């Protein structure tokens, strides 16, 4: 309790008849990376806006670094850094001028101002472009600059609302690497929202949010354990018959979709030879994978996380890259 | 201390943007000349009346302070659009989530807009010789002070509207509705002492009238006999100091309303 930096009690936010946030409760510990995972429109941004004093809750209380965000908004603001989902730079000024504005308005001591600006700009690889107008920056560069700005005043809590949306995998990787390093070095609490699965994996704990409610909250590993073992996907000549065979032979609840059949089982590696031996239907392919947060989401909400699959390919690529780089352990 | 630094950086950003906008800088310099030529040559022929009023000054000299007031009015009140602009481009969020009070933000904006409006007005002073007006240092300094307090009150009026109006289009419409009565129901371009009573009262209610009157009294003070105080309030002819007091009072009300309105938005 004493160690909580964010405390949310019975938070409700209504927009007219629409209940965007529906009675949610959670605590975030100091120094923790806390992830909000959910589809677009689930209430992630609304919650973050309330936590950041930008929006007033309909009811409930939010405490940030010991300050009530409604009654002590001013003190709460000093403790937080924010990287918005929508751009919030002055595009008619240079990168340097944007950061100087931020440094002044956050009261960063003048003697550390320039060195910190240099640090963050080098981190996001924009130091060479510091005197260019932001209006000439690409989307990715603008985003990187915003992240640099959010870190400039070394906040107690750094809010990242879909911070890597629309960035290339390399930049995303680089940014998360730095955020985690900063968290480690300065003991900054990270509060992130995302709908990229691999990004949610960097969190120490994840709250899965759907339709304004928190449907699950735990460490990524514990959440994945909820799924109950490995996931086996199967393609056969006759998926319908094969599914019935699996149910009768092994007593496993298998699901059939247009790609084939999928089911969960413990010790998947040992199960596959048994399956191919016993099954009468001709098997075309078998796949085995560990449960992902996508599976967790499906399990707790009963529906897929996203309808469009745009981010999926990127997710897989960055994942492979990380494992190749030997960093998988750290991100898991 | 941090609040002061917040006010400073918001003011500084406004100036920086003004300075970096070369087209605006150019128009800032050209516009006064433009006004002088158009109004000066165009209206002076039809304003023989004014010239008959006094042998000490002609129409161009008469309307010169009116054009100064007009430029300060336009620049100051339209400055509110930078807030609407910042809201549209997201930058306002960066400002609103910062640990400075909304009061400081609004004051920084008011001072920024007022400084720019004063710079624009000062540009006009450069063209004084063209209008046949000779200004001494003892006139320029009071003029600068007057322009600045006029600009602060009018910028605050713009901020008041900008904190309520959310889109660029509606801001412009509201501003057009405000600007023209403020300008034309004032002594800026013609004398008002011969107006019918009902219009005369509207002139007295309009704060811009006192702005024009004070500027004109200072500008024409060098002429023999000076410009007679013609703006009458409760049977009393207003002096420069009294005009300034009215503008200050209006300014305090506008700044207070602007700060309150700006502070209330989410």
User: How far apart are the CA of B140 and the nearest CA of chain A, in angstroms?
Assistant: 33
Nearest to B6 among A90, A97, A105 (CB): A105
pLDDT (average), residues A301-316: 53
Q: Name the residue among B20, B91, B97 with its Cβ closest to that of A82.
A: B97
Mode of pairing for the β-strands spanning A80-83 and A283-289: unpaired
- Is A269 at the interface with chain B, CB within 8 A? no
Portion 60-99 of A in contact with B at CB < 8 A = 74-75, 77-78, 80, 82, 84, 86-93, 97
User: SS3 of A93, please?
Assistant: coil
Phi-psi label, residue B20: left if phi above 0, alpha if psi -120 to 50, beta otherwise: alpha
Query: How would you classify the pairing of strands B232-233 and B236-237?
Result: antiparallel
Cβ distance B94 to A102 less than 8 Å, yes or no, reads yes
Look at residues B22, B159, B156 and name the one whose alpha carbon lies nearest to residue B81. B159
Q: What letter does residue A327 receive in the DSSP assignment?
A: -
| A319: confidence class by pLDDT, cuts 50, 70, 90 | very low
A327 Cβ neighbours under 8 A, 6+ residues apart? A177
Per-residue pLDDT of chain B (266 residues; tens, 9 = 90+): 678 999 999 999 999 988 888 787 777 777 777 777 777 777 766 666 555 566 667 777 888 888 888 888 888 888 888 889 888 888 888 888 888 888 899 999 999 999 999 998 888 888 888 777 888 888 889 899 999 999 999 999 999 898 888 888 899 899 888 888 898 888 887 777 777 778 888 888 888 888 888 888 888 877 666 666 666 666 667 788 888 888 889 988 988 888 888 877 65
For chain A, give the mean pLDDT. 82
Instruction: List strands edge to edge, sheet with A18-29.
Output: A18-29, A4-15, A59-64, A67-68
* A291 pLDDT more than 90: no
pLDDT for B262: 80
Give me the residues paired with residue A158 across strands: A81, A190
Q: Kindly give, in sequence order, each residue whose CB lies less than 8 Å from that of residue A237, ignoring residues fewer than 6 positions away.
A: A281, A282, A284
The answer to whether A266 touches A260, Cβ cutoff 8 Å, is no
Report the sign of the C-alpha dihedral through residues B172, B176, B182, B188, in that order.
positive
A175–chain B Cβ distance below 8 A for any pair = no
Residue of A nearest to B4 (CA): A105
The Cα-based distances of B204 to A92, B187, B195, B211, B238 in angstroms read: 41, 10, 12, 11, 11
- Give yes or no for a contact between B157 and B255, defined as CB atoms under 8 angstroms apart: no
Note the pLDDT of residue A311: 41
Angle, in degrees to the nearest 10, between helices A293-301 and A220-227: 60
Nearest residue of chain A to residue B11 (CA atoms): A101
Using DSSP's 3-state secondary structure scheme, residue A209 falls into strand
* Interval A190-236: pLDDT, tens: 998 877 777 788 889 999 888 888 998 999 888 888 887 788 888 88
CB spacing of A104 vs B6 below 8 angstroms: yes
How many other C-beta atoms can be found within 10 angstroms of the C-beta atom of residue A122? 13
Task: Give the closest residue to A295 by CA, choosing from A219, A197, A171.
Answer: A197
pLDDT of residue A240: 86
Task: Tell me the pLDDT band of A56, cut-offs 50, 70 and 90.
Answer: confident
How far does Cα B64 stand from its chain's mean position?
14
More confident residue, A282 or B195: A282
Does the distance separating the beta carbons of B266 and A55 come in below 8 Å? yes
């Amino acid at each position: 309790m004493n160690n909580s930096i964010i405390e949310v009690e019975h938070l409700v936010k209504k927009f007219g008849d629409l209940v965007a946030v529906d009675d949610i409760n959670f605590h975030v510990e100091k120094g923790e990376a806390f992830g909000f995972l959910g589809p677009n429109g689930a209430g992630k941004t609304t919650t973050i806006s309330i936590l950041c004093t930008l929006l007033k809750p309909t009811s409930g209380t939010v405490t940030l670094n010991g300050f009530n965000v409604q009654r002590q908004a001013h003190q709460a603001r000093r403790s937080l850094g924010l990287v918005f989902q929508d751009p919030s730079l002055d595009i008619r000024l240079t990168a340097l001028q944007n950061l100087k504005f931020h440094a002044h308005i956050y009261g960063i001591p003048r003697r550390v101002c320039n060195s910190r600006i240099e640090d963050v700009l080098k981190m996001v690889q924009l130091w060479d472009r510091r005197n260019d107008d932001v209006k000439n920056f690409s989307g990715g560069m603008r985003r990187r600059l915003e992240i640099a700005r959010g870190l400039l005043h070394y906040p107690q809590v750094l809010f990242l609302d879909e911070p890597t949306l629309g960035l290339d995998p390399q930049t995303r990787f680089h940014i998360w690497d730095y955020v985690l390093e900063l968290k480690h070095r300065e003991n900054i609490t990270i509060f992130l929202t995302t709908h990229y699965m691999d990004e949610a994996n960097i969190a120490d704990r994840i709250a899965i949010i759907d339709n304004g409610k928190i449907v699950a909250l735990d460490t990524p590993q514990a959440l994945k354990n909820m799924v109950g073992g490995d996931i086996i996907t199967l393609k056969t000549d006759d998926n319908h018959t094969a599914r019935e065979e699996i149910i009768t032979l092994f007593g496993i609840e298998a699901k059939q979709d247009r790609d084939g059949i999928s089911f969960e089982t413990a010790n998947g590696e040992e199960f596959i030879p048994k399956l191919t031996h016993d099954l009468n239907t001709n098997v075309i392919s078998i796949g085995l994978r560990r449960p992902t947060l996508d599976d967790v989401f499906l399990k707790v909400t009963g529906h897929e996380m996203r309808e469009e699959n745009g981010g999926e390919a990127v997710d897989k690529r960055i994942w492979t890259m990380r494992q190749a780089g030997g960093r998988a352990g750290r991100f898991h | 201390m941090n609040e002061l630094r917040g006010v400073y950086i918001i003011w500084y950003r406004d100036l920086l943007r003004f300075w970096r906008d070369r087209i605006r800088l150019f128009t800032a310099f050209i516009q006064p000349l433009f006004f002088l030529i158009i109004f000066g040559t165009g209206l002076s022929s039809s304003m023989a009346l004014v010239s008959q009023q006094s042998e000490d000054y002609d129409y161009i000299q008469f309307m010169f302070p009116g054009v100064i007031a007009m430029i300060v009015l336009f620049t100051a009140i339209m400055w509110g659009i930078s807030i609407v602009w910042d809201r549209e481009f997201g930058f306002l969020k960066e400002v609103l989530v910062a640990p400075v009070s909304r009061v400081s933000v609004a004051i920084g904006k008011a001072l920024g807009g007022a400084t720019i409006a004063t710079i624009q007005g000062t540009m006009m002073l450069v063209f004084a010789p063209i209008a046949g007006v000779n200004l001494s240092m003892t006139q320029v300094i009071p003029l600068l002070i007057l322009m600045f307090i006029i600009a602060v009150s009018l910028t605050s009026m713009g901020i008041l509207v900008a904190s309520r109006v959310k889109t660029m289009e509606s801001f412009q419409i509201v501003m057009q509705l405000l600007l023209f009565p403020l300008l034309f129901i004032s002594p800026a371009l013609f004398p008002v002492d011969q107006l019918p009573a009902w219009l005369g009262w509207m002139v007295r209610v309009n704060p811009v009238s006192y702005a024009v009157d004070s500027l004109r009294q200072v500008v024409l003070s060098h002429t023999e006999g000076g410009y007679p105080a013609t703006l009458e309030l409760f049977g009393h002819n207003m002096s420069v100091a009294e005009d300034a007091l009215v503008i200050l009072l209006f300014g305090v009300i506008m700044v207070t309303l602007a700060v309150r309105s700006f502070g209330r938005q989410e």
